[in-house]
Amino acid sequence: MKIKASWVLAGILLASALVTMIFWRQVTFSRRLGDDALETSLADGSTVRDAQHGLEEITRRFGEQAPGMDRWAARAVAASRRPEAPVRRAAAWAMQSAWTAQSRGDPAAGRDDFRARLREMLADPDEAARRNASCSLAWAGGKEGLPVLRSMLANHVVRAAAAGTVESVLAQGRLAVQDGRVARLRGEGGSVEVSAPVPGRVVAVLAAEGSVVKAGDPVLELAPDPLHVRNAALALACVGTPADALLLDALAGPSSPLPEADRAHVREAAAWLRRQ
């Protein structure tokens, strides 16, 4: 009985390990992809997660300065044109990997095809995709995304997707998750959800429960997310002006709600801009 019990226990532990491994591979992109798997992950009709995994693999290969990257650069540009916003965001962010740590901010470095596509993405309908494109373009020395970078340091107003009566809205002080629901409206066609295009903490509710809003009306206001502030500060250090240091100062002081580690990066970026 003891021997049988030990085998049962071993089987349970093995099954548990396999489930954990499968779950981990599904929720992270740590598993490397070979060429065939990479092609499949970025093929038309692949899932959002597979496409994101493929873009992460392309990012790693650029970082490793792997050969034959023209092929995969073309796949990244193609992915940036997909209809799914999360894939376009990932593609815009992956394009900055073409610039090494030594060449960041150097207009002569990187890839012209990436620059051209990133400039187009400054008009992407998705706010987060525009932000990622602006940051990646800045690493290449491109200043076209400066207005977007500056907006990342300011509060963001979330607007109603349609007309209706506000049934529920995220309370002040609550954290809004990117793409997460922050309000629900009751319109003529039924319930309509309002999602946060970017993450942030609610600093003001602009449409209380029971109020009637039109499409495009402000619903709530979000403080800038610390990670987005940090990314914008680092990008501004590449392409910003001394005047941008004043914008950074407001988020670097002791009264700033940002964590100290993020405030330190903001202060460093502001100091760098003042030396320009």
Residues 218 and 230 in one domain: no
| Percent over 90 (pLDDT), the chain | 65
Residue 218's CATH number: 2.40.50.100
* Domain count within the chain: 4
Mean per-residue pLDDT, 70-87:
96
The parent domain of residue 3 ranges over: 1-25
- Residues 88, 101: one domain? yes
Q: 72 with 129, same domain?
A: yes
Question: Residue 127: inside a domain, yes or no?
Answer: yes
- pLDDT for position 189: 81
Same structural domain for residues 96 and 174? Answer: no
Q: Say yes or no: 191 and 253 in one domain.
A: no
Judge whether residue 275 has pLDDT over 80. Answer: yes
Residue 222: its pLDDT value, please? 97
Residues 10 and 91 in one domain: no
CB-based contacts of 249-252 (< 8 A; 24+ apart in sequence): 250/153, 251/153, 251/224
Same domain, 191 and 267: no
Query: Do both 50 and 138 map to the same domain?
Result: yes
125-136 residue pLDDT tens: 999 999 999 999
State residue 25's pLDDT score: 43
Domain contains 150 = no
Q: Looking at residue 106, which CATH number applies to its domain?
A: 1.25.10.10
Q: What is the pLDDT of residues 3-39, one digit of tens each?
A: 444 434 334 444 434 343 333 344 467 789 999 999 9
How much is the mean pLDDT over the chain? 86
Q: Are residues 42 and 139 in the same domain?
A: yes
